Every structure is written in C-alpha cells, then in structure tokens.
Amino acid sequence: MYKRGDSWVSDFWYNGKRYKRSWKNVSKTIAKEKERKFKTEIADGKHDLKARRILFETFAENYMEHAKLHKKPSAAKRNKTSIHMLMPHFKGQLLESIHPFMVEQYKKARREEGKTPATVNRDTATLRNMLNKAVEWGYLQINPMNGVKQFDEDNEQMWVLTPEEEDRLLDEAGQAGGKSPHLKAIMNTALHTGMRLSEVLEMEKRHVHLRDRYIFVPESIAKNHKSRKVPINDTLAQILQDALKGNHSDYVFPNRQGEAHKDIKNGVWAAIERAGLVRMEKRNGKLKKVRFRFHDLRHTFGSRLGMKGVDTKTIMEIMGHRTEKMAMRYQHPTPKHKLEAVKLLDSSPTKIHTRGQTAKREGVVSIR
C-alpha cells in the first residue's frame, strides 16, 4: 500500500492477476481495513463475480444464442418458449439475486394459472440449465436452484391406443397424401419402435440395418444425446423395405425435396380428428377436450411391451430412457389389462369367508 496525493492505494498481484484500488479521503488504518476486505473478496472469487453482474434478460439472450448453436432446433424452441414465460417473473433481476423462494413463487403462480406440472417443470428445467451455464461461464459461483425440486408428473395422462383406434388412425393416415405421403409409415414406425417423432423424421437410410434387424439412433438426434439400437420386428421390416424402394434420398421418410421433414403436425392432427381420437377428460377439476398426440404412439409402444411382461430395463434401453422412473410408467397397464389380470384368479382355488365359515370353491365366484 502506498499514498498518492490524498488517497491510499492498494496495488498487488493474486494468482497472476494485478489488482489496484484507490481509497480516497480515509486514514491509513481505514484504508488497510478496506484493503483486507478487498483481498478477501478476491480470494473468495466474489470480486470478479461482481464485475460480471448481469440482468436475467441480458443473460437470456446470450443463453439462447448458445442454445441455437449447440441444441437441436426442437430443444432450442422449447427453451425459447420457457424463457418467454419466465421473463415477466425474472426480468430486471440480477442473476445473483435469484434465490430458491423466488423460483417456488414462480411455480406456484404458474400452477394457479392452471398449467400442468409437466409444463411448469419444462420452464424450471430451462431456468436450471440457464443458471448452470451462468456458473460455467463465471457469472455465478453456485446454482441457486440446486435445492429446488420439480413437480411429480406421475399423474400425466397417457392415451394408449386400442386395436380398433389404431386401425382407424392408420386408415386415415394412409389417406393423408399431400404433404404427408409417408404419414402412415411414420406412425407405424413409432408404434413398433417407440421412437420419438424427431428421431423418425431424421432417420437416415444408413441408420437402418435390416439384415441385423436394428435401427441405429445416433446421439446427434437422440433426445438425451445418447445413441442406442432399436430392434426391428417383422412388421416394421416390411414397412422399412417398402419405404426404401426407389428412395433416392438420404432419409427414410423424406419430404418432396428429398430432405428430412421439419414438421408434419398438420397431417397428424387431421388424421387424428378424422379418426375421432378426441375425448373429454377431467383436468384440474374441469372438463377439457383432449386429443390423441403423436407422442402417444410412443406411450402405446411402451405400454404394450409392459403388458406383454417385458422388463423395465429392456424398455429403458429400447426407448432411450435415462431413468427407471420414466420406463416404470409402462408397468401400469390399461384398465382392461388389469381386469384380465385379476380374472386369472377366477380359475384358481378360492377360499370364501362368510360369517365365520370358510368354504373352498373352484372356478368363478358368484357375487350377491
């Protein structure tokens, strides 16, 4: 420390970096105390973070630029939607001022608006990833959301197709034509593989190994960025053989320009409406019109495997789930399947207890 004019000056090096600070119009004793605090801030990393303070909305712009470069277009689009919803709650806040209670308040407000747990979870997942990047890029020391939990999504409604519904949907998809000439084959592929829509649309011919009976899903198009092999059954083998005949594109199901489809939602929704796959369900205490979704083809695939007794680990590997919790949803079969399960007991010896007496009966038990 030295004096220049009326000010004491702290000038020192720490970890190869020079720090200099002037203490104006104070005594040497006070200047030394300020220097001590200054050095502590530097040693703790707080000084450099203060120099990198940034508002939520500014950081959000930087984050989206990163997402567009390093994420799949669908993932970046989902992030953009979430940030749009987060903005009214966090705009004007410095990143370092965001704390767990603030996030909990956001979750509460969104649920009061009637948003589903899954929707709120997608938004908070985006915020968590943003703050992880803030730590990685040196704006924060720790992610304040480390202790914030997501909502339980076990109550998510899945629509598992019945054989009759499947026939109606595929018949309508086969008549789509227009911009979706491969719609029926695309839907059938999802029904027999559990692959996500983006994985089916971006599937290239080089990924299809008919001789060895598998489709290779590379990490570049897999949602969790982990490659996997999806087995091909006899039904799908025929569908893929037909799709590859006379196909001069790199993609299995190309658009008219020979490129991968970007969006087929119009054809999908039209086929669903014509097939009558619309019903009323009670959501959050209110009746709501619910349509079958393309993603429910994936749910149908997983549920059918579960109802056939396929183990959770195998379902995980085929469908590309990261956790058993995701695959366990398919171990809760349809009401009809549950009824068939308990009917197995009808043919077993049954002990009937009535008013202190025990009787052993064979076969079906009559209900009075």
Average pLDDT score, the chain: 86
* CB 113 within 8 Å of CB 83: no
340 is written with which tokens?
């068939």
Q: What is the pTM of this model?
A: 0.63
CATH number 3.30.230.10 given to 56-136:
no
Q: Are 287 and 280 in contact (CB under 8 A)?
A: yes
CA dihedral over 219, 221, 223, 229, signed as positive or negative: negative
Q: Give pLDDT, residue 208.
A: 97
Q: What is the pLDDT of residue 249?
A: 95
Q: Express each pLDDT in 158-213 by its tens digit.
A: 899 999 999 999 999 998 766 677 999 999 999 999 999 999 999 999 999 999 99
Give phi and psi for 129, each to the nearest 5: -65, -40
Cβ burial, residue 23 (10 Å; 0-12/13-18/19+): buried
> Over its length of 368 residues, how does the chain's per-residue pLDDT go in tens digits?
888 888 888 888 877 777 788 888 888 898 899 889 888 877 877 666 555 689 999 999 999 999 999 888 888 999 999 999 999 999 999 998 999 999 999 999 999 998 888 899 999 999 999 999 998 888 888 899 988 998 887 555 789 999 999 999 999 999 876 667 799 999 999 999 999 999 999 999 999 999 999 999 999 889 888 899 999 999 999 999 999 999 999 999 999 899 998 889 889 999 999 999 998 877 666 777 889 999 999 999 999 999 898 999 999 999 998 888 788 878 766 777 777 777 877 866 655 555 555 545 444 444 44
Place of tokens 């749009």: 84
How many residues belong to the chain?
368
Q: What is the predicted pLDDT for the residue at 39?
A: 87
pLDDT in tens, 219-245: 988 988 889 999 999 999 999 999 999
Residue 77: Cβ within 10 Å count: 13
Q: pLDDT at position 50, please?
A: 55
Which CATH number does the domain 159-334 belong to among 3.40.50.1000, 1.10.3720.10, 1.10.443.10, 2.60.15.10?
Answer: 1.10.443.10
| Joined tokens for residue 226 | 């982990």
- What is the 3-state secondary structure of the chain? CEEECCEEEEEEEECCEEEEEEEECCCHHHHHHHHHHHHHHHHHCHHHHHHCCCEHHHHHHHHHHHHHHHCCHHHHHHHHHHHHHHHHHHCCCEHHHCCHHHHHHHHHHHHHCCCCHHHHHHHHHHHHHHHHHHHHCCCCCCCCCCCCCCCCCCCCCCCCCCHHHHHHHHHHHHCCCCCCCCHHHHHHHHHHHCCCHHHHHCCEHHHEECCCCEEEECCCCCCCCCCEEEECCHHHHHHHHHHHCCCCCCECCECCCCCECCCCHHHHHHHHHHCCCEEEEEECCEEEEEECCCHHHHHHHHHHHHHCCCCHHHHHHHHCCCCHHHHHHHHCCCHHHHHHHHHHHHHCCEEEEECCEEEEECCCCCCC
Cβ-proximal residues to 112 (8 Å cutoff; 6+ apart), any chain: none
Cα–Cα distance measured from residue 242 to residue 208, given in angstroms and rounded to the nearest whole number: 13
CB-CB contact of 334 with 327 (8 Å): no
pLDDT at 350: 55
Q: What are phi and psi of 83, to 5 degrees?
A: -65, -35
- The residue ranges of every structural domain in the chain are 2-51, 56-136, 159-334
CA distance 20 to 209: 65
What local confidence, expressed as pLDDT, does residue 361 receive?
Answer: 47
> What per-residue confidence (pLDDT) applies to 155?
52
182: which 2 tokens? 């491969």
Amino acid 331: pLDDT: 74
CB-based contact 124:150 (threshold 8 Å): yes
